[in-house]
A and B are shown apart, each in its own frame.
Chain A
Amino acid sequence: MQALYAQLLVGLINGSFYALLSLGLAVIFGMLNIINFAHGALYMMGAFCAYFLLNLLNIGYWPALILAPIIVGIFGMILERTMLQWLSGLDHLYGLLLTFGMALIIQGIFQNYFGSSGLPYAIPDELKGGMNLGFMFLPIYRGWVVVFSLIVCLATWYLIERTRLGANLRAATENPTLVRAFGINVPRMITLTYGLGVGLAALAGVLSAPINQVRPLMGADLIIVVFAVVVIGGMGSIMGSIITGFALGVIEGLTKYFYPEASNTVVFVLMVLVLLVKPTGLTGRAN
C-alpha cells in the first residue's frame, strides 16, 4: 500500500506540471491561435532562471517563485512582439514550426553551456523534511508543489472565467476584430496573454527545480506528454486542462503501480482512444 500512495503522490506531482503547462498552452492557443511548441523550453528557462538567481545573485527560492515567471514572461512577450505577432491569421502550422524552432534554439544554447546533466537546486529550508500521515510518508516539498499548483490553476481559472479582464479575454478569443472595434487594445492583450501562459510554464519550472534538477532538456522530455494531455483534454476549456492535467498524472502514477511496463505509454494510449471517440478532446469544442 505504501508503494501505491507513493506512486499516487508522484502522479499528483507530475499532474501539477501537466496542469500548469497545459493551462498555459490552452490560454495561448485560445488567444494567439498558436500551438506553442516553445512551452517546454520556456519551462526549462524558468528553472534555469531560479538557478541563476540563486547562484549568481544569491536570491533564494521564494523570490524566484515570483521573479522567474516575470522574467521569463517578459522574454516570452518579446518573442511575441518580435516574431509570433507576424503569424496572426496564418495556418497553425506556421506557429508550430516557428515555436518548435525557437525551442530547439533555446535548448541548444543552454545545452552548449550546461551540457545535458542536471544541476542541483536545493529544497528551501522551510519545506525540507516530511510528515508521517499514518498511511504514508509525505515529503513536505512535494505536498507543497501539489497544493500550490492547484491554487495557481484555480486562480487562473477564476481570472479568466469570473473577472472583467477574463471576459475581455474570452471575447477576444471569440472575435478579436469586434472586441478591438469596441476600443479594447487587443494586440496588447495578446502579448500579455502570451506572457501569462509563458509565466505559468516558468513557474512550473521553478517548482520542478528542486525535484527534478535543472537540465536543458527537462522541458523537451515533458512537453511531448503535455501535448498528449492537451489533446486528451481538448484546447477549448480552462477547467478541462486543469482537471485533465491532474487526472492524467494520477492515472500515470496508478499505472506505475499496477502495470509499470505501460506507465510511459498510458497517456499516449489514452490519447489515441480519445481521438478515436472524440477528436476535439474531452472538453474541447469543435470550431
Chain B
Amino acid sequence: MANSAMAVAAKAPTSGAGKPVLSVANLEAWYGESHILHGIDFNVNAGEVVTLLGRNGAGKTTTLKSVMGIIGKRTGSIRFNDQDISRASSDKIARMGVAFCPEERGIFASLDVRENLLLPPIVRSGGLSLDQIFELFPNLKERLNSQGTKLSGGEQQMLAIARILRTGARFLMLDEPTEGLAPVIIQQIGQTIARLKSEGFTILLVEQNFRFAATVADRYYIVEHGKIIDGFANSELAANMDKLHTYLGV
C-alpha cells in the first residue's frame, strides 16, 4: 500500500526547483481512536508552492497538523531540511523554521492586533520587518490597537499570514487561506502568495478552492481518505482536468 502511494509521489514531477525542504513518507495519524491518515507520501522542494487538494475530511488539514507536530499520534517519516521531525514537539518544529497559518486563522481575541502580530517569536534572522509587513498589508497598520477578532475576515487572514512572516521561517503552511473570503480579498491573498514565492519562500497550501490554487501552485497532490492518490504539475493541469473534477466532485 505504501509502495503504491510512493509511486504516486514519485510520479509527481519535482518542477526543477531545489532539493526537498519537506519530505513525508508513509505518514499515518490518529485523532483519538479515529485513524485519519493512512500513509501519506509527498515532498515539497525549495521555492515551490505545493497544494494539497481534496474534499472535506480527506485529511489535508490533518497532514499539515501532523507536520507541525500537533496531532497526538503519528507514525511514519517527516523530514524537514534533512532532519527527522516526526517525533519533535511543535515548539521545536516551529523553531526549526516551519510556520503555520491555521484554518480559521487562529487570531487571539484577548490580544490586540499588535500583540497578535508580535506573538510568534523570531526563529531566525531574515524575517520581514514591521515596515515590510505594513507595506504588504496596509490595513493592519491602521488597526494595530483593535482587538484581534474585531477585524474583518480578510484582515484577520492577512494578520494570520503577516505574523508568521515576521518570524524568519522560510517554509509556510497555509490552511485554506481563502475560506469564506470575498473575491477581491482572495485576489489580494493570491498576490501575496505569488510575491512570497518570488522572494524564495517555500509554501505548502491546503485548498478546497481549486481555482484559487491554480493561480499560485507549482504542483498539486490529491488527498482522499487519508492517502495521496494522485499528483501533477501545474503544466499538466489541462490534461488532468477531468480527473480532477472527479476527485473533487466539482
Chain A residues engaging chain B, CB cutoff 8 angstroms: 164, 167-168, 170-171, 173-175, 177-186
Contacts and interface: CB of A to CB of B under 8 A. Distances in A.
Given A174-B108, A175-B106, A180-B70, A185 B91 contact: yes
Contacts of B120: 182-184
A168 B110 CA distance: 10
A170 B111 CA distance: 7
Given A174-B108, A178-B106, A183 B94 contact: yes
Given A178-B102, A181-B69, A171 B111 contact: yes
A171 B149 CA distance: 13
Contacts of B100: 178, 181-182
B43 interface: no
21 contacts: A164-B115, A167-B115, A167-B119, A171-B108, A173-B110, A174-B108, A175-B108, A177-B90, A178-B102, A180-B89, A180-B91, A180-B94, A181-B68, A181-B93, A181-B94, A182-B91, A182-B100, A183-B94, A183-B123, A183-B167, A184-B121
Contacts of B90: 177, 180-181
A202 B90 CA distance: 34
Query: Is chain B's interface secondary structure helix, strand, loop, or mixed overall?
Result: loop
Range class of the B interface residue count: 20 to 34
Contacts of A164: 115, 118
Contacts of B70: 177, 180-181
Interface string B91-124: 1011100001010001011110001001111010
Contacts of A178: 100, 102, 106
A89 to B, nearest CB: 10
Nearest to B169: A183
